[in-house]
Amino acid sequence: MLSAIVSSKRDPASRNILNCLLEICSWNKTGISLKGNEILQCDETNSLLITIDSDLTSAEFLSELPILVERLIFISRHEATSKKPSLLIHFTGNWTSNAMLGGYPNTLGISDPIFAKYAFIEILREKEKRDRLSEFEISLEATHHGPTQLNKPLTFIEIGSDPDKWRNKEAGEAWAHAIIRALERLQRKKDYKNLVVAIGFGGPHYAPNFSKVERETCIAMGHIAPKYVIDQISPHVLRQAYLKNMVKPKLALIDWKGLTGAQREKVITLLKELNFNLEIVKIHTALRKYSTT
């Protein structure tokens, strides 16, 4: 099954990563177009390259893709008032009724924890090799924004957080190489059995503790619900956090100090009531029990 990398003409970081992908892989014309943009294919990675004219966060129309794909990988900019240099990965969805950044209220997209795990490990390796990326922080983000209705696992790969960084060629090259190697690992499939999928609860938006789990353990993170959504989270959305994953989660990780006592009680009670048979684990326990270092 094909994977599809999606780029937006409106997004300078997206164009940056796209140009680097075009340089490092052989892409062939498929003869198939989407809204006037031809779709390209790379046989080595069994992947497509799709360009769209609109914003990525509102690209719900990709449900009409003329080619069947297994996953979608959106290459994107990240904006932050801090302008902090960053290389980020996250899944899509709105934990609450707030859907100001695209997608539907109280709706999560489908996460792709195995691809995200591989991409995270590969971008860490790229940073180690590239002195010019020393200022960039690599992190998972909490699940946020659209699209939410594509019915395919969807991962956002981002460069942050200002115009200079979006156009940084070194960052674009690093992400291009990391994406390609992650796709190559997916094709081999032999590593799957060694990974345990988890959903996460608590902590800030940039999820430093869940990033540490992704970096140091055999756990592959799925959806992450940060502290700021927990008070409004409903059983309906929590059910989606479990069901909308490409690989079934086995763990619910709790950032214990990243939640209030009442929030911890709410999450644990809801998880038990939903009866998903998830093992509920504190992050510090997971770091010890599932360590690969």
**pLDDT 10s digits, 107-143:** 999 999 999 999 999 999 999 999 999 999 999 999 9
Q: Rounded to an integer, what distance in angstroms lies between the CA atom of residue 74 and that of residue 95?
A: 20
Answer whether 47's CB lies under 8 Å from 183's CB.
yes
Chosen domain end from 163, 188, 213 = 188
Q: What is the mean pLDDT of the chain?
A: 96
Say whether both 157 and 209 belong to one domain: no
What pLDDT sits at residue 182?
Answer: 96
| Domain end position, chosen among 188, 208, 236 | 188
Please check whether residues 134 and 198 belong to one and the same domain: no
Threshold 0.95, pTM exceeds: yes
* Rounded Cα gap, residues 151 and 65, in angstroms: 12
Residue 188 has pLDDT above 90, yes or no: no
Report how far apart, in Å, the C-alpha atoms of 134 and of each of 43, 94, 138, 149, 216 are: 33, 32, 10, 37, 20
- If asked whether residues 182 and 70 sit together in one domain, one would say yes
Read off the pLDDT of residues 263-274 as tens digits, 9 standing for 90 and up.
999 999 999 999
CA distance readout (Å), 275 to 110, 223, 243, 263, 283: 20, 18, 12, 19, 21
pLDDT band at 247 (very low <50, low <70, confident <90, very high): very high
Integer-rounded Cα radius of gyration of the chain: 18
Q: How many CB atoms lie within 10 A of CB 206?
A: 18
Kind and range of the H or E run holding 94: strand 93-94
Of the CA atoms within 13 Å of residue 10, those in its CB half-sphere come to 8
Q: What is the CATH number of the domain that holds 224?
A: 3.40.50.10700
Residue of 190 and 85 predicted with greater confidence: 85
Q: Find the domain containing 167 and state its range.
A: 2-188
Per cent of the chain over pLDDT 70 is: 99
The residue from 160, 188, 216 where one domain ends is 188
21 sits in which H/E element: helix 12-24
pLDDT band per the 50, 70, 90 thresholds, residue 190: low
Q: Which residues pair with 34 in a beta bridge?
A: 37
Q: How many domains does the chain have?
A: 2
| pLDDT of amino acid 185 | 92
Q: Specify the pLDDT at position 191.
A: 67
Q: How far is CA 63 from the centre of its chain?
A: 18
Q: Are residues 69 and 88 in the same domain?
A: yes
Residues 118 and 251 in one domain: no
Query: Judging by beta carbons within 10 Å of its beta carbon (0-12, 13-18, 19+), is residue 137 exposed, middle or buried?
Result: middle
Instruction: Name the band, by pLDDT with cuts 50, 70 and 90, for residue 8.
Output: very high
Whole-number pLDDT of residue 192: 72
Mean pLDDT of 88-96: 98
**pLDDT tens, residue by residue, 28-77:** 999 999 999 999 999 989 999 999 999 999 999 999 899 999 999 999 99
**Same-domain status, 67 and 209:** no
Do residues 178 and 198 share a domain? no
Q: Are residues 244 and 265 both part of a single domain? A: yes
Q: Residue 209: its pLDDT value, please?
A: 98
In this prediction, residue 193 carries a pLDDT of 74
What is the DSSP annotation of 196-235? EEEEEE-S-TT-HHHHHHHHHBSEEEEEEE-HHHHTT--H
Pair (241, 264) in one structural domain: yes
Per-residue pLDDT, averaged over 243-252, amounts to 96
Does an H or E element contain 252, and which?
strand 251-254
Q: What is the rounded average pLDDT of the residues 143-171? A: 97
Q: Based on the domain organization, do 144 and 267 belong to the same domain?
A: no
Is residue 150 a contact partner of residue 62, using CB atoms and an 8 Å limit? yes
Can you give the CATH number for the domain in which 100 is found? 3.40.630.50
Per-residue pLDDT at 258: 98
d(CA 200, CA 42): 34
Asked if 18 contacts 75 with a C-beta cutoff of 8 angstroms, the reply is: yes
